[in-house]
Structure 1
Amino acid sequence: MANSKTDPRVIKTRNNLKKALVQLMKQYKVENISVQKITEKASITRGTFYLHYKDKQDFIERSLSEILDDFFDAVMIDGANYLPSINSDERIHVFSQQRAFKYIENEAETFDVLINNQENEPFFDRLNARLTDYLQKFHTQIGDQFTDIGVPVNLEISFIVSAELGLIKNWLKDGMIYTPRYMTQSIDKIFGQIKCDGVFFTDFFVDESKSDF
């Protein structure tokens, strides 16, 4: 059998199952979603489901992790063009606002259900934790070149993450009335008002249209 990570049949089946899960989460609490409901929605057999997952909990955990992995794989980019003055022995990744908003726009149903449905708070917590981890790594990689504003780093990160995710949450809730480009420019302006000399957490979020390449 082909590698399960690359076999088109496996990928298609798992994607169909994830889509079914999102559809069901619009109607039911997670604890009320059964394997039978999932397989019927995805138009697959229970036998096929259990070829891929141990049980419902395994399916949900892995599906949510894959949604987050796919999102961050799409939006994290090489920061070399945005942090030219930084000397580092390792590649520093930054968060592309344009890619993030475009990705969420394309997957609006999924993200709206997972972010704005109170029953799905665990997903929002995971998203928050993942973004927090990236910012902590960014701070560590910048090291002594990072601007010290006299505030505990954990508070700075909490503020920035809350601002970013709060805007995404409200953008979805309002029906995405602004384009991804407009959202990118708006956040860039907001973060620009708290720009510091040197490198700060706002430099982690970039507008690719301003790159030299």
Structure 2
Amino acid sequence: MASHSDPRIKKTKQRLKSALFQLLKNESTKNISIQQIVDTAAITRGTFYLHYHDKKDFIQAIINEVTNEFFLACLVDAKAYLDPKVAISEHDVQVFSLRKGFKFIADNYETFTVIFKLGRGNAFTDKATQLFDFYIQLFLKKFDLKQDAKTLHNQFTADFIVAGLLGITRNWLNDGMIYSPHFMGDKMYILIHDRMDKKLDVRDFFVN
């Protein structure tokens, strides 16, 4: 039995993904059939069903793949960024680089223009939000950042930042990336860290 790392399987899945993205230039996911996808990819329906249960499963797999690649490219070791506030060892925890995030999206512009539109509602936004929450929780647990009645709750703050970041990213793509990734990363960093004191909190998960 072929494994998921089999080059033939990777090639087949890439052809299917490319076919879907090509079709999405003129159609919505709702109007695209599996037959159209396999015809465009020049493979059989049987081959498609060897890898996916249905179109929904196929689309979710693409969303998962792109989202995982996004975080792999953007998560960085926290030590260099948090040293002024807290002493930690290398590889203790990861934080999210805003500059790397916007650069990765810019480098994969066509993919992200499509991925924000895949699935029902905001499927990519939902998946990205889940992963942001997962890594933020690791960050909060590592530094034991408990809720403080005198300050904003960390979870509320994190939810607000993530929602704003994803919304601004979508608008940036829709506007044709009129600002550079570097500019976007810097501006988002300033917005998140504006008037922040020297005390460590959830905003320190987002670095430049």
**Class of the TM-score when normalised by the shorter of the 2 chains:** 0.7 to 0.9
The alignment yields a C-alpha RMSD, in angstroms, of 2.7
- What is the alpha-carbon distance in structure 2 between the residues aligned to residue 90 and residue 120 of structure 1? 36
Question: In structure 2, the residue corresponding to 1:162 is in which secondary structure?
Answer: helix
Match of 1:205 in 2: 206
Match of 2:3 in 1: 3
1:119-157 Cα offsets, whole Å, 9 max, x none, are: 552222222222223222221222148987522333111
- What is the alpha-carbon distance in structure 1 between the residues aligned to residue 42 and residue 55 of structure 2? 16
Tell me, yes or no, if structure 1 residue 17 matches structure 2 residue 16. Answer: yes
- Provide TM-score, normalisation by structure 1: 0.83
Match of 2:68 in 1: 69
> How many residue pairs get matched?
206
- What is the alpha-carbon distance in structure 1 between the residues aligned to residue 158 and residue 55 of structure 2? 34
1:96-117 Cα offsets, whole Å, 9 max, x none, are: 2222111111221221223267
Match of 2:165 in 1: 164
- What is the alpha-carbon distance in structure 2 between the residues aligned to residue 10 and residue 118 of structure 1? 23
What amino acid is the match of 1:91?
D
Question: In structure 1, the residue corresponding to 2:76 is in which secondary structure?
Answer: strand
- Provide TM-score, normalisation by structure 2: 0.84
Question: In structure 2, the residue corresponding to 1:143 is in which secondary structure?
Answer: coil
- 1:70 CA drift (Å): 1.3
Q: Is the 8 A contact 1:98 1:181 kept in 2?
A: yes
Identity among equivalent pairs (%): 37
Give 5+ residue unaligned stretches, structure 1: 208-213
Match of 2:182 in 1: 181
- 1:79 CA drift (Å): 1.1
Question: In structure 1, the residue corresponding to 2:43 is in which secondary structure?
Answer: coil
- What is the alpha-carbon distance in structure 2 between the residues aligned to residue 88 and residue 141 of structure 1? 12
What amino acid is the match of 1:32?
N
- 1:39 CA drift (Å): 0.9
1:12-55 Cα offsets, whole Å, 9 max, x none, are: 22122122223334443433322111112222222322232233
- What is the alpha-carbon distance in structure 1 between the residues aligned to residue 119 and residue 52 of structure 2? 26
- What is the alpha-carbon distance in structure 2 between the residues aligned to residue 130 and residue 48 of structure 1? 31
- What is the alpha-carbon distance in structure 2 between the residues aligned to residue 67 and residue 81 of structure 1? 27
Give 5+ residue unaligned stretches, structure 2: none
Structure 1 residues 116, 35: closer, same or farther in 2, change over 3 A? closer
What amino acid is the match of 2:12?
T
What amino acid is the match of 1:206?
V
Match of 1:124 in 2: 125
- 1:118 CA drift (Å): 9.2
